[in-house]
Structure 1
């Protein structure tokens, strides 16, 4: 799995952490996938959450700067609908800690 797919999978993990993906959150994920240049096949894999459990291991190999940028993206994702659920916050914190950022 390419790091760009892993990044989008982690974004989706945060977005669904509260059990609901709002229209704003779906649009954010779509923009992220397009922005990272994911192919249609890769986008479908993200939507189906294929490889979700492997994503953290993939991004763990990124540089410190890339990891910080990812955590910024995850934070933005959690806040995109104007509501920060405890589950979304916990997901961001857990991923950041796993990456050595938290």
Structure 2
């Protein structure tokens, strides 16, 4: 194996490793630091991160379905307000999460 010197950690690391500024350590096959899981996404936990994204997308669609199409929902708020809430909060979050999922599946 070939190594390179990390100037932040002050030790030699494998070539495929990168230093994470948030966790202050070198990580092999570093992808990014994720604040959702509170750690580094790397080759060791990519499958768990993709599963988390998939479940988040499923939950987004279930919330969207329940908010818009649930006939038994109490009519404390009007349907226009419900649609506005979906557009304001849930759809951008769903789009962002779907984008992350597609990126990591590709």
TM-score (norm 2): 0.31
Of Structure 1 and Structure 2, which has the larger fraction of its residues in strand? 2
RCO greater where, 1 or 2, for CA within 8 Å and sep 6 or more? Answer: 1
Q: Under a length normalisation based on structure 1, what TM-score does the superposition of the two structures give?
A: 0.32
Is the radius of gyration larger for structure 1 or structure 2? 2
